């Protein structure tokens, strides 16, 4: 066999092997997301969408263009965890850390996701702001209103953000911001669904 033919044959074998490995990783990633969504609907914050892949660096995720979808799922999961956190025995320190982590994850989706994804998590950012325990209620309400408004501008069909903004403005008008930002809205974000299967943050 001539050297040129040997090189071509070797390249074909290598490319074929890479294609098989990539096919495995794509199937594994897709299956992990399906399994993760099903488990998340039941277990909430304890679920991971991790796949057993052979290629490094998230090649399959990039090939399937799933990075944004996974970021959205993890951000919504962080939101659910933060919303469920209690004060505990550390004077609320862990809860504050969880809320900060959720805000960061959600903000990253706003910055890098599609308009629909940015709108969806923008609504959740508004919920976190409106329910924050803060000495400056007016500032929390302002941040919440801005987040809801940005969510609506990103996707005018976002009924949850519209409802939450109207509810927030109604609360501000009624109580004149006398209540703390987290003291007058026990229902905010209570209507939650799985990260891959519904709309978290519907109503407050």
Residues 38-63: tens digit of each pLDDT = 777 766 666 676 777 777 766 655 65
Residue 129 vs residue 11, higher pLDDT: 129
Whether 119 and 163 have beta carbons less than 8 Å apart is answered as no
pLDDT given at position 19: 79
The domain segmentation of the chain, as residue ranges, is 1-65, 66-204
pLDDT given at position 84: 84
Whether 164 and 201 have beta carbons less than 8 Å apart is answered as yes
Give the pLDDT mean for 187-194. 41
pLDDT given at position 75: 92
DSSP assignment of 140-181 equals HHHHHHHHHHHHHHH-TT-HHHHHHHHHHHHHHHHHTT-S-T
Residue 28 vs residue 192, higher pLDDT: 28
Distance CA 155, CA 135 (A): 32
Confidence of residue 204 (pLDDT cuts 50, 70, 90): low
Instruction: Specify the length of the chain in residues.
Output: 204
pLDDT given at position 142: 92
pTM over 0.75, yes/no: no
Give tens-digit pLDDT for 137-167. Answer: 889 999 999 999 999 999 999 999 999 999 9
């Amino acid at each position: 066999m001539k050297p040129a033919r040997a090189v071509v044959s070797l390249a074909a074998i290598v490319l074929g092997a890479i294609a098989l490995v990539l096919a495995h990783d794509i199937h594994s990633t897709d299956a992990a997301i399906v399994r993760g969504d099903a488990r998340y609907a039941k277990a909430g914050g304890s679920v991971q969408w991790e796949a057993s892949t052979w290629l490094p660096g998230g090649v399959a995720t990039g090939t399937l263009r799933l990075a944004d979808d996974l970021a959205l799922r993890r951000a919504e999961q962080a939101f659910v965890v933060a919303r469920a956190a209690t004060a505990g025995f550390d004077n609320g320190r862990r809860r504050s850390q969880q809320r900060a982590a959720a805000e960061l994850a959600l903000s990253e989706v706003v910055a890098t996701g599609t308009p629909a994804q940015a709108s969806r998590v923008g609504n959740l950012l508004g919920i976190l702001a409106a329910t924050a325990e803060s000495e400056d209620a007016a500032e929390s309400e302002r941040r919440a209103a801005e987040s809801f408004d940005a969510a609506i501008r990103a996707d005018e069909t976002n009924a949850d953000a519209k409802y939450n903004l109207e509810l927030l403005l109604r609360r501000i008008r009624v109580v004149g911001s006398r209540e703390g930002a987290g003291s007058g809205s026990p229902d905010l974000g209570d209507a939650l669904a799985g990260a891959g299967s519904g709309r978290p943050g519907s109503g407050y």
